[in-house]
Structure 1
């Protein structure tokens, strides 16, 4: 099984019956889902993840003093306090794909370098390949939540 441009491609033997194909695809998609959606990350894990993301996409320039999950953010996915170098992530992100959580972490770390949403700020996120997809994902998640949609 491969991921190609965000699409799962499952290869199976040509001799599989339709039933075997269905069973195999369901199994592989479940496996992929389990890998991409982690139940939660500890606050310690968030600090390590932030350091890794900063090094990889921001040249190591953004180093938060703290990054943690909070339950009091209902209208934002995350927030940053540049003076304290503190980042808070909404618990509502937990269970979302890692690439979405990584985008929010990077977005908030970019605020440690550039506080406003100007061109300089958005240029900091240019190297992250999932920026636009993650923004769209979060817009869809917010829409669904605002309209009582569960996707199930």
Structure 2
């Protein structure tokens, strides 16, 4: 399918083995849409339009995601605002290999890692996790002194509840409203 109106080139792949599902992915600069072979031309057009829009939306979302440099700058802002600038990490970065924790801190290395899963969450939730990890640079463990530092962040209770809800839903396989495609 030829590009139209600034859209990327699209390749439609029909499969006799595919019964109901439609999927889309990038292959180079081409949007590939896989559909069942039995789809009519109008069904194909509908699903191609829908799936290319989804791919473009996802690409736009990813391009808006914050870099490690921006994350480090945000950590410095939060440390200054809520921890009197005393928490000074050497590195703050996004990681994709952290599936059971939102964040982690290695005080000896002064490094903080945040799960990439936080990138789609509200900024105030990410800020809470950053403040939590920054506090670990000052106080090891989850002692009353630690929580006193974290509680300087005004949305601590709200962010903890939000993350608890996300964890609860994930533990039951609830990942949000998804298209049947």
TM-score, length basis structure 2: 0.62
Structure with greater strand percent: 2
Give distance in 1, aligned partners of 2:153 and 2:103: 17
Query: Structure 1: which 4+ aligned runs deviate by more than 6 Å?
Result: none
* Structure 1: 5+ residue stretches without partners: 1-37
Which structure's relative contact order is higher, taking Cα pairs within 8 Å and 6+ residues apart?
Answer: 1
Look up the match of 2:43: none
Is 1:96 aligned to 2:112, yes or no?
Answer: no
Give distance in 2, aligned partners of 1:40 and 1:115: 30
Look up the match of 2:150: 125
Is 1:55 aligned to 2:80, yes or no?
Answer: yes
Task: Name the SS of the counterpart of 2:65 in structure 1.
Answer: coil
Give distance in 2, aligned partners of 1:126 and 1:50: 16
Look up the match of 1:9: none
How many pairs are equivalent?
115
Task: Name the SS of the counterpart of 1:106 in structure 2.
Answer: helix
* Structure 2: 5+ residue stretches without partners: 1-62
Task: Name the SS of the counterpart of 1:88 in structure 2.
Answer: strand
Give distance in 2, aligned partners of 1:123 and 1:70: 27
Q: CA deviation at 1:39?
A: 4.3
Look up the match of 2:171: 146
Task: Name the SS of the counterpart of 1:100 in structure 2.
Answer: helix
Match of 1:85 among 93, 96, 110: 110
Task: Name the SS of the counterpart of 1:122 in structure 2.
Answer: helix
Cα deviations by residue, 1:112-132 (Å, 9 ceiling, x for unpaired): 000110000000012211000
Is 1:113 aligned to 2:111, yes or no?
Answer: no
